[in-house]
Amino acid sequence: MKSIIFSTPMICAILEGKKTQTRRVIKNAPKLDCRYDGIFYGKDGDGSYYLEYLHNGKPTEKYYSLGKPRYKVGDILWVRETWHLEIDLESDNFSYVYKADGEDYSDCKLLSGKPFVWKPSIHMPREAARLFLKITGVRVERLQNISEADCLNEGIYQMNVDVCYSWEKAKHCYLSPKSAFIALWNSINAKRGYPFDSGVWVWVYEFERVMG
């Protein structure tokens, strides 16, 4: 079973049923070429995807293989999230705790005497997983072509005030789902070299929660 990582705000959105899509950068996709008037994508028989440029509405010899997506329809994924192991000193029992639940452990001490510090999602073991997702759809898309509706499916939601969109515990208010999604995307991916306006192509994964 494969795993997938989400930030704490996106874990909250999944738990609340607000997030049913995720976009992941296709790192080997080509940049846009202004000499051509369009691009379409297709899928080969082996499950690989490709891009092909159009000129005057017709396919050209500009063909790029994108390879296969990491996840395919029907895959069950276990979710990595920010976590910690909590031990009951009286019973020697232990349990996992999760940052997305919002509990404050700042005053807690570990058995070593060191202060409590959340463990990053990348180090989360399989046995600590509490969320499982089933992939229900896969497609290729230019990030900038995301629709307002899909921004909501990415975990953006309307706050309790008029014309204000954001994501879980965000500090800012945005006038549309897309402007909020752009801010969310850039907060995660701009430092990795993939800001929203860079013209990247992404895998779009649709999913639903399932039992592990």
Instruction: Give the range of the structural domain holding residue 88, as residue numbers without chain letter.
Output: 82-121
Q: What confidence category does residue 88 fall into, taking pLDDT thresholds of 50, 70 and 90?
A: low
Are 86 and 66 part of one and the same domain? no
Q: What confidence category does residue 51 fall into, taking pLDDT thresholds of 50, 70 and 90?
A: confident
Dihedral pair phi/psi, residue 24, rounded to 5°: -125, 135
Give the chain's domain count: 2
Are 25 and 64 part of one and the same domain? yes
Are 35 and 63 part of one and the same domain? yes
* Residue ranges in the chain assigned as alpha helix (H): 8-15, 148-153, 177-189
Are 89 and 38 part of one and the same domain? no
Rounded to the nearest angstrom, the gap between the alpha carbon of residue 108 and the centroid of all alpha carbons in its chain is 31
Are 88 and 165 part of one and the same domain? no
Characterize the bridge pairing of strands 76-80 and 2-5. parallel
Are 95 and 110 part of one and the same domain? yes
User: The domain that contains 190 carries what CATH number?
Assistant: 2.30.130.30
What digits encode the pLDDT tens for the residues 130-144?
999 999 999 999 999
Are 95 and 179 part of one and the same domain? no
Helices and strands (DSSP H and E) totals, the chain: 3, 12
Dihedral pair phi/psi, residue 139, rounded to 5°: -155, 170
The number of residues in the chain equals 212
Are 26 and 101 part of one and the same domain? no
Are 117 and 161 part of one and the same domain? no
Beta carbons within 8 Å of 176's beta carbon, 6+ residues apart: 148, 151, 165
Q: What is the average per-residue pLDDT within 80-106?
A: 79
Predicted TM-score (pTM) above 0.85: yes
Are 39 and 91 part of one and the same domain? no
Are 141 and 44 part of one and the same domain? yes
Minimal CA–CA distance to 154: which of 195, 184, 199, 188? 184
